[in-house]
Each structure stands twice: as structure tokens, then as C-alpha cells.
Chain A
Amino acid sequence: MLTERSRRIGEADIMNKKIYSIGGLFDTPDSIIHAAEEAVKEGYTKFDVNTPYPVHGMESAMKLKPSLIGLVTLFVGLSGAAFAFMFMYWVSVVDYPLIIGGKPFFSWPAFVPVTFEVTVLSAAVGTVAVMIAMFFKFPNNAHPLHDTNYMKHVSSDRFGLNVVAIDPLFDESKVKDFLSRAGAKDIEIFYEPERKPIRVFDPKFIGLLVVIATVTAGVTYFTLNKLLYMPPFTWMAEQDRLSSQSQNAMFTDGFGMRNPVEGTVARGFTPYEFKGQPDSVVRNLSNPLPFSKEVIDRGKMRFDTYCSPCHGYFGKGDSRLNGQFPNPPTLHSDKVRNWPDGNIYHVITNGQNVMPSYDKQITRDDRWAIIHYIRVLQRSLNAKDTDLETKK
């Protein structure tokens, strides 16, 4: 009674459904090849063959044209290669040039492995994606052949041929007739599946989301807060060394790092022997740098960085700080102009009045370069008449 009723409902459903294809099952690879040849002879173009393993000679029996998917692979692969190469060029030459291993910024041999990897990756992923989108008509995940007796067999022990309804010669009875003539055993009609709307607020789905969220959060919490504090994961953190912000029990002052021995000189550093002494004792120091364009350019750069905030870009003492502090002095005064280089060096190194010492900020050579530049500024405002004569 019940089965009778469900069968009738099933039939009623079928009446409203669209036919997708008609398929038949064959027993041997030879018979399926023969059937495919017959289908071609019959004039069918939209038919497909399903076999449990690749049957040799099927392509020529079905008169399949070479697939165009290779062109997709080529195009996506070349695009990936071009993208990877240009991206690396942009990163390492245009946007963030770094010297690595003394090599030029555009070191193309180093780009080759990454370009190769991206080419392979994009070609593979692109091919699969295009295949799914074009041939499986993504996001259709309910193919009419799914869950059928036909599919059950063609994926294990038998060979199937099905003629799809979009074929221009498709006619239900003619196709059935053709299949039985070709030797098919079980002929089946496949219908387009009914498309059910997807319900986002399905309680089962929501419940699943909640379970996933809880599990993820729990595992994350356990890993980060508990697991990492258990041995053996703690072995790396617990080592024989002084952690930061903790006291050293070995030395009485409690510091982990030892101060260098009194009088230690850092590598490449020349101590200033007149530190804290009156400027009169250093007048005989002379500028070791040559008076060249490179040195003056360097001096200008350093002057603009460190001196100009107070003394102004031209050394006139007219910077924007003028009026907020005791006014910085001009460097064009007779006093400064007549100072020997050593005296200016002493002031930069030692500081004077409000001006702090700059020996930590400006290296020794840069100080001398600045002094050359100050001399240039001074000369420019107090040019002698002889300077105006053209050089002969």
C-alpha cells in the first residue's frame, strides 16, 4: 500500500521533470567502443561515455576534437609567470630596493625559481578551476547522473553511454531504440534534478557552525594558554639564560649585562680628547677632510638635518624656532668667521650654552664635513671682491 503510493508520487514527479539524458550500460570495453562508433554514425554529437578506467581508442571512436583545456593551461601559466616576475621586479627594484648579497637590485636569476613555482601553481590551479567551472558547471554539485544505478556501475564494473537531451537529434524513443540496437543492457532515463533553495537558517546548519566555532575556539585557547606551557613545549623557553625584566642573582648589582671596562673604545670610534675643556685649548685642531664637492654635499646634508632646526638653512640663526628659545646665534658673525675649524668642532662636540653636545648624533667625519659647509655659507655672504672676478 505504502510502496504503491510512493511509486505513484514518484511517477507524478517525473511527469513534471525535464529529461537530462538517456543512458545504457554495456558489459565489455569492445562493446562500448562499438557503441560509441555507432553513436557517431547515427549523427549524435552530444553524447558521453563513462567507463571505470580509460579505454584506449575511445577518443578516436567518439571523434573527439583535442581538448582546448591545454590552451587555458598555457594562458594561465604564462600569466602566472608574468605576474610573478613583474611582482618580484616591482618589490625588489621599485618599491623596496634592498641590497642582498652585494647583488644588483634586478637579480633575475634569483627570480627564476619563484617564477617557475608560480607558473606551475597557477597553471595547475587555473586548469582545475576552469575545468570545474566549464565542464562541471560549477556551482552545480548535483549532476543528474549522481546517485543512479548507471553511475554505480560505470564507476566499478560496466561501461555506459548516454545521449544528452541537448543533442539536436534527440528523441526519446529513437535514442532508446538506438541504444538497444547497439547492445545496451539496462536503458535508463535521467531527469534534471530539482533545485532546492538553500536554507541558510536551517537549525542543523546553524548548530554545525556553533559546534565548529566552539571547537576551534577551545582548541586555540588550550593550545595557546595551556599546551605551550607544558613540557616538552616549554623546553625552548626554559633555558640557562637571564630573561628580560628579571634580576641577576650572580652579580651584586643585579644586572645581566656587564658594562665595558673603563676606558674601552668602541670599534671605529675615535675618542675626543678635549671633552669638557675650554675651547681655547683646541684651536690647533685642523680639518682632516679635503675641501671637495662630495664632502660639502655630505656636510650640507648633515647640516640640514642637525643644525638647520636652530641655525637656519643658511646659518643666519633665522629658523622657525626663532623667538621660542633664546635666539640661536648667526654663524656669519665675525666671531664665528674668525674661529679656527677646531673651535667650531669643539662646540659641536662639546656643546655651548643652550646648544647640547652632538657627539652622539653626528659622527666625527660628518662634523668636519659640516664645518666645511659652514665655511661655504660664510663665504657666500661675505664674498671678497676678488671672488667676483671670473676665473682665468
Chain B
Amino acid sequence: MEYQKKELPDKVKNAGFLFAGIGLLLIAVSYLLDPRREAFNNIIGLTFFASIAIGALALVALEYISGAVWSVPFRRVSEFIASSLPLVLVFAIPLFLMLGMLFHWTHPEVVSADRLLSGKSPYLNIPFFIGRTIGVILVLYVFYALFTRNSRKQDESKEQGLTRTNVKLSAAFMPVAGIGLTLLSIDWIMSLEPHWYSTIFGVYYISATLLAGLAATTYASVSLNEAGYLIPGVNKDHYYSLGALMFAITNFWAYIAFSQFLLIWYANIPEESIWFVMRWEGGWKYISIILIFVRFVIPYAGLLSQPSKSDPKRLKQISIFILIAHFFDLYWLIMPTFSKTVVFSFYELGFPLFVVGIVILAFFYQTKKHNLVAVGDPKLQRGLDFHL
């Protein structure tokens, strides 16, 4: 069966504009009312957005490097989501102007009075910080551009060698993405508390990133396939694989998160455990407990049984839920630095809505230009024939 390119209906674009518009309005109002609070939310928005875009790109590379066939029919969905990657920098620009408001290692008088911070200053200084963020996003974007350029060329030429090139590229991408995500998480989240450190923190963010990219891809793939925009042949076994992967990464996140907690709790060194103490006081205790359920228990139970992994309705619900949980996780990571007591109102809603809108719009404009299925990929037919 052949793939027929269809235009996505305008309601997708309208939804994107609606989300982005409401989000932008909320952001503007919030920045006027309480710039410091909104700047912290801007970090949540930045890390949330980076997770979705880089996570989707990592899935593309994962498919190439592992030689997976089942995901080929909807690899383009991941590619389109990843196309929003350079816009992450737009989120970072206002923050670059407000670093002094957010990170107390940016104040030279604080750093010189503090031995630990002066020791860390070769790494934690403003020019290097800005350079790292821009560098990581740009390097990953170069990988995105190469992956998609080869893949699009293949749509016309059916040249098999391009897949081989992409496999090699993805082998180079993996360590780069691992280090890049570690740097992003250390810079934007961990350095909010510059005395605190956790060596597993990068892996924590990587697991959350993979999950976010996968959840976005799953939601989009299942919806598009149900509406008939993908190539015919995507069936329950493909859904099952998406569900199983989400289930696996959910467990991986829980494993990493618990490892981080257990070691810090067990060693009980004040400079490490203060971070969890901050998340156990002033109402944050309830947020921490809810996080366990939202991020792990509910997705775990929702995807545990075999039928639920291949049920399209369940998959869409759970993937939306996982994205909300990812936002909630970042809120839990970042906001205790802003406030000792729990704060949650419309200030927090602007950025997630804006990010969702931006991703939808980026996706929509990609579908106008390119095929939604990698029709030239030599693995496509095998991917469609995929059975468990």
C-alpha cells in the first residue's frame, strides 16, 4: 500500500495558535506582575521544551543505531517534533538577561566570599554558561539537520547508503546528546542550588527527556494514524511497542530518581540532603508525594497490562498524562528555589501552554513541506510488516 500525502486540517494550526496565544498572553501578564517568579517558570518552560525536542531527536537516533524497524512508519513524527529544537534558544534569551535574578553564583561578591563557589567559578561563570547552552542546542541542531536532510533526500532517491550514513551519525550523536543533556540539566536546574550536587542528576534529566520525547511522539503518531494520515499498516503491534517503551522508560525514571534519593538519604550529608529537605518543608512534602504517584505509580499501573499497551485511547491518555507529569517534575525540581512554600497559579501555566502551541505549530508547518512518512527508507516495508 502506498503512502498518500494529505494536508493536516487547519484545526491543528488553530489549536497551535490558540495554545501559543493563551500561553504568550499569560507569560506577558506574569512577567509584568512578578518578573522573578516568571523567570523561574521560564526555566521550567525552557527545560520542558528542550526535553520534548531533544527527546524526539534522541528517538530518531535510537532507531537508527539499534536498527529498529517497528518505529520507521512514524519516525517522521519524531523528526517533526524535533524540528522545534532551535526555538529552545528563544526561550533562553530572556533568561540570559536575568541570570543575576535566578542564580546566585552570578554575583562576584557572593562568589569571592564563598570558597566552594570560587572553586566552581571556572565552570559556573556567565560567559561559559551562555556559551554552553547555545553550543549544546546548536550542536544537536546540526545533528537534526543532517539526519533529516539525509532522510528527505532518501524520499526521492531511495538511496540505501543514506541510512548507513545516518547510523554512523547516530553513533556520534549518542555521547554528544548524553553530555549535552547533562550540561543543560546541571546548568539550568542543578546550579540553581550551586552548593548542591548529585552525580546522577544528568541521567535523571536524560530519562525524563526520553520519556517526554516519546510521549509527544506517541500522542501524535496514534492520533495521526487513527485519522489516517500515516501509511496504512500501522497496527496494534506498533502501538504495543510504543506503550512498552513508555512503560520501560517510566520504570527507568523511577529507578534513577529513587537511586538519587536513596543514596542522599542514606549518606545523610547535610550539603546533599538539604536539597530534599527543601522539598519536604512548607507544603512541598505533598508535592513530593504527589510526584511519586503522578510520575511513576499512575503511568506504571496504566501501562502494566498487555492490552493497555496497545489500546490507542489509553496510549493517548497516558502520553498526555506523562507530559503533564514531566512538567510537574520540572516544577518540583525548580520552584522550591523560588519559594519556600508551594505556589501554583496562572503564572505557572503560561509556559507549558506556549511550549505545546509552539510544538504543534512547528509540527504543522513541517507537514506542509515534507512527507509524514519516510517513504524512501529501506526499512519501511519491514516496519509495516512488523509483528510481535
Cα distance, A102 to B269, chains bound together (Å): 12
Cα distance, A313 to B388, chains bound together (Å): 80
Known: A109-B262, A109-B266. 17 other contacts (CB 8 A): A56-B387, A56-B388, A57-B387, A66-B306, A70-B305, A70-B306, A101-B266, A101-B268, A102-B268, A103-B268, A109-B261, A109-B265, A110-B262, A110-B266, A112-B258, A112-B262, A113-B262
- The 7 nearest A-B residue pairs measured at CB: A56-B387, A109-B265, A109-B262, A57-B387, A112-B258, A101-B268, A110-B266
Provide the residues of chain A in CB contact with B388, threshold 8 Å: 56
How close is A347's CB to chain B, nearest CB, in angstroms? 46
A-B contact pairs, 19 of them (CB 8 A): A56-B387, A56-B388, A57-B387, A66-B306, A70-B305, A70-B306, A101-B266, A101-B268, A102-B268, A103-B268, A109-B261, A109-B262, A109-B265, A109-B266, A110-B262, A110-B266, A112-B258, A112-B262, A113-B262
Cα distance, A66 to B306, chains bound together (Å): 9
Count B-side interface residues using an 8 Å CB cutoff.
10
Cα distance, A112 to B254, chains bound together (Å): 12
Provide the residues of chain B in CB contact with A113, threshold 8 Å: 262
B-contact 0/1 string along A69-109, CB 8 Å cutoff: 01000000000000000000000000000000111000001
Of residues 291 through 320 on chain B, the ones whose CB sits less than 8 Å from some CB of chain A are 305-306
Provide the residues of chain B in CB contact with A112, threshold 8 Å: 258, 262
Majority SS of interface residues in chain A? Answer: loop
Cα distance, A109 to B261, chains bound together (Å): 9
A-contact 0/1 string along B158-194, CB 8 Å cutoff: 0000000000000000000000000000000000000
Of residues 39 through 55 on chain B, the ones whose CB sits less than 8 Å from some CB of chain A are none
The chain A residue sitting closest to B262, CB to CB, is A109
Cα distance, A112 to B258, chains bound together (Å): 9
Of residues 115 through 138 on chain A, the ones whose CB sits less than 8 Å from some CB of chain B are none
The chain A residue sitting closest to B304, CB to CB, is A74
Provide the residues of chain B in CB contact with A57, threshold 8 Å: 387
Provide the residues of chain A in CB contact with B266, threshold 8 Å: 101, 109-110
Provide the residues of chain A in CB contact with B265, threshold 8 Å: 109
Cα distance, A103 to B387, chains bound together (Å): 51
Cα distance, A159 to B305, chains bound together (Å): 31
Of residues 263 through 289 on chain B, the ones whose CB sits less than 8 Å from some CB of chain A are 265-266, 268
The chain B residue sitting closest to A54, CB to CB, is B388
Provide the residues of chain A in CB contact with B268, threshold 8 Å: 101-103
How close is A40's CB to chain B, nearest CB, in angstroms? 19
How close is A183's CB to chain B, nearest CB, in angstroms? 23
Cα distance, A238 to B261, chains bound together (Å): 44
Cα distance, A110 to B265, chains bound together (Å): 9
The chain A residue sitting closest to B265, CB to CB, is A109
How close is B116's CB to chain A, nearest CB, in angstroms? 25
Cα distance, A266 to B156, chains bound together (Å): 88
Provide the residues of chain A in CB contact with B261, threshold 8 Å: 109
A-contact 0/1 string along B77-112, CB 8 Å cutoff: 000000000000000000000000000000000000
Cα distance, A109 to B387, chains bound together (Å): 41
Cα distance, A101 to B263, chains bound together (Å): 13
Provide the residues of chain A in CB contact with B305, threshold 8 Å: 70
Of residues 45 through 78 on chain A, the ones whose CB sits less than 8 Å from some CB of chain B are 56-57, 66, 70
How close is B266's CB to chain A, nearest CB, in angstroms? 7
Cα distance, A109 to B258, chains bound together (Å): 9
Provide the residues of chain B in CB contact with A102, threshold 8 Å: 268
Provide the residues of chain B in CB contact with A70, threshold 8 Å: 305-306
Provide the residues of chain B in CB contact with A109, threshold 8 Å: 261-262, 265-266
How close is A62's CB to chain B, nearest CB, in angstroms? 15
